[in-house]
Amino acid sequence: DLVLHITGARPNFPKAAPVIRALSAVGVNQRLVHTGQHYDDKMSAVFFRQLGLPRPDYDLGVGSGSHGRQTAALLTALEDLFVELQPAFAVVYGDVNSTLAAALVAAKLGVRLAHVEAGLRSFDMTMPEEVNRLVTDRLSDVLFATSPDAVAHLGNEGVDPGKIHLVGNPMIDTLLANLENFDAEAARTTHDLTGSYVVATLHRPGNVDDSADAQALVKTLHSVADQVQIILPLHPRGRASLEEAGLLAHPRLRVVDPLGYVEFLGLVRGADAVVTDSGGVQEETTMLGVPCLTLRPNTERPVTISHGTNRLVTREELPAVVAGVLATGRATTWTVPPLWDGQAGPRIAKILRDELMSEASAR
- 340 contact choice in ligand UD1, ligand UDP, none (CB below 5 to 8 Å, kind-dependent): none
**How many positions of this chain bind ligand UD1 (CB under 6 A)?**
19
The region of 23-31, 85-93, 240-248, 259-267 touching ligand UDP under the rule CB under 6 A is 259-267
* Residue 64 touches ligand UD1, criterion: CB under 6 A: yes
The region of 98-106, 117-125, 275-283, 304-312 touching ligand UDP under the rule CB under 6 A is 275-283
* Residue 87 touches ligand UDP, criterion: CB under 6 A: no
With CB under 6 A as the contact rule, the residue among 20, 113, 225, 259 that binds ligand UDP is 259
* Residue 10 touches ligand UDP, criterion: CB under 6 A: yes
* Residue 264 touches ligand UDP, criterion: CB under 6 A: yes
With CB under 6 A as the contact rule, the residue among 87, 119, 258, 270 that binds ligand UDP is 258
Footprint of ligand UD1 on 70-89 (CB under 6 A): 70
The region of 8-16, 72-80, 191-199, 211-219 touching ligand UD1 under the rule CB under 6 A is 8-16
Residues 214, 247, 279, 69: is their CA dihedral positive or negative? positive
Q: Between residues 132 and 220, which has the closer beta carbon with respect to ligand UDP?
A: 132
List the x/- string, 233-262, binding to ligand UD1 by CB under 6 A: --xxx-------------------------
List the x/- string, 192-211, binding to ligand UDP by CB under 6 A: ---------x----------
